[in-house]
Amino acid sequence: MIAKIHNSIPSIIFALLPVSIISGSLIINLNILIFIFFGILAIYKDELKINFSLANKCIFAFFLVMFVSTFYNQDFQFNEYTLKSIFLFRFLLIYIIFETLYKHQKINIRWFYIISSILGLIIAMDIFLHLFFDSNLFSIESDPYFGFNSLFGEEKVAGGYIFFTLPFTLVLFLKFFENNIKFNILETVLLYIFIAGIFISANKMSFIMAIFFLILCAILIKRFRKQVISSVLIFLISINFLFEKDKSLLNKYASFFIHLSSVADEKNTNIIQSEFFTKKYSSSHGLIYLDSFEVFKDKKLFGGGLKSFRQNCPKLKKEVKHCSTHPHNFVLEILNDVGILGLILSITFSFLLLRDCIYKIILNKNKIFEKTYYLILIALLFSIFWPVKSSGSIFSTFSGSFLWINLCILSSCTFKKN
């Protein structure tokens, strides 16, 4: 009995990660550190072997390069940035520990899927209710400046959180719902709530990536094809009604798509297709991208170290600079912080994950559940590593947790070398 409880502790702690993400950075970090502690105890107690695959060596080398680059660029001083680069190893540890426990069947992630899906659905419904009835499940007042973000308050990340839980919801559909008309209708309704919740939250990139993920699932997975197509069609039919309920949504999305395709001139009257990024009303992220690329060119091979863009962008020798806390694109952030070497390591790691997922699909081609599960993970992998999307900082506690928790789940694709 004691041994059973001991083995379930890492599963419980990992399952609480979706709750801690809502609770804030301090709770997220505490949750991760507690998981690392009990994970190491489990590995030591059961004498589990860690998988030193090429993918794991790449990800270890990535974090090592990050530390060395930061230490070097901070003139070999143990200051704020150097210490943060050391603390960044928590993401490496949670990935390695999870993979080790999963490979030896010492962790059960069913409750992680259940809690993630329930919380994603609750937040999507909360946003939905606030739009239609001006009330919500938790009696949270809408901020006139930040809008309504459900449990996240002033943080405009509700849509990103719902998108984070979407792949895990599909896994639950696969596990608990039969493939018949009654459950297909229920799945369609739930998918619509997720899509609409992300859309209403006005997290525009999360909405685009959610649609991208679902389209990939519809292409790859016959089991969800009708439900995805139906839910997207229902959303398209209802989109004018959503705009009527909140007229600011139309302006937010119209502005976003205009910036994606073109820019306006100084008077904001004429569209100039050939001068993207150059005018006053062009994409703010696009202008940051250009300056982050300029910063990268100064330190191409190893980068400037952790969070170097915020330090080096103001030093650019140009009259008008577009600086921020991070480049808002994970490829540019990697190039800025760990240079070309870091990008090569991360690309190699992602391709090895893709290879392993494809291998698992081939291996389980006659097992419907397993094959579909790995197809969902492939769609998740593409949505994570889609290079042209804007993103939060992958080295921050909040956005980084989204990424590394997803990578933990994707580690279920990896296989041990005999």
What is d(CA 369, CA 314) in angstroms, rounded to the nearest whole number? 52
* 404 and 331 fall within a common domain: yes
Where in 208-358 does DSSP place strands (E)?
263-264, 271-272
Under the phi-then-psi rule, with left for phi > 0, alpha for psi from -120 to 50, and beta for the rest, what region is 25? alpha
Total structural domains within the chain? 2
Give the end of a domain, one of 261, 288, 319.
261
Q: What is the mean pLDDT of the segment spanning 118-141?
A: 87
pLDDT of the residue at 280:
44
The percent of residues in the chain predicted with pLDDT above 90, rounded, is: 56
8 A C-beta contact, residue 28 and residue 20: yes
The per-residue pLDDT of the chain, averaged, comes to 87
Q: Are residues 194 and 290 in the same domain?
A: no
Could you identify the residue written with the tokens 């992602």? 350
For 319, half-sphere exposure in the C-beta direction (CA atoms, 13 angstrom radius) is 0
Provide the CB-side half-sphere exposure for 232 (13 A, CA).
17
- Residue 274's pLDDT is what? 43
Please say which residue of 207, 226, 261 terminates a domain.
261
Cα–Cα separations (whole angstroms), residue 380 to 14, 112, 137, 253: 19, 16, 29, 24
- Using pLDDT thresholds of 50, 70 and 90, give the confidence band for residue 208: very high
- Is 346 within a domain? yes
Check pLDDT > 80 for residue 143.
no
Domain ranges, residue 337: 1-107+278-418
Give the residue-averaged pLDDT of 317-337: 86
pLDDT at 340: 95
φ, ψ of residue 328 in degrees (nearest 5): 65, 25
117 and 99, same structural domain? no
- Written as one letter, the residue type at 380 is L
DSSP string, 258-292: HHHH-EE-TTS-SEEGGGTTTSTTS-HHHHHHHHH
First-last CA distance in the chain: 33
User: Count of residues for the chain?
Assistant: 418
Among residues 214, 233, 261, the one where a domain terminates is 261
- The pLDDT score that the predictor gives to residue 39 is 95
Predicted confidence (pLDDT) per residue in 101-121, tens digit? 999 999 999 999 999 999 999
Q: Is 178 part of a structural domain of the chain?
A: yes
| 193 and 92 within one domain | no
Confidence of residue 150 (pLDDT cuts 50, 70, 90): confident
Residue with tokens 């685009």: 208
Q: Per-residue pLDDT tens for 224-254? A: 999 999 999 999 999 988 888 887 787 777 7
More confident residue, 335 or 256: 335
pTM of the model: 0.90
Residue 327, number of CB atoms within 10 A of its CB: 28
Q: Residue 266 falls within a domain, yes or no?
A: no
Give the tens place of pLDDT for each residue, 17-31: 999 999 989 999 999
415: confidence class by pLDDT, cuts 50, 70, 90: low
Q: Both 36 and 123 in a single domain? A: no
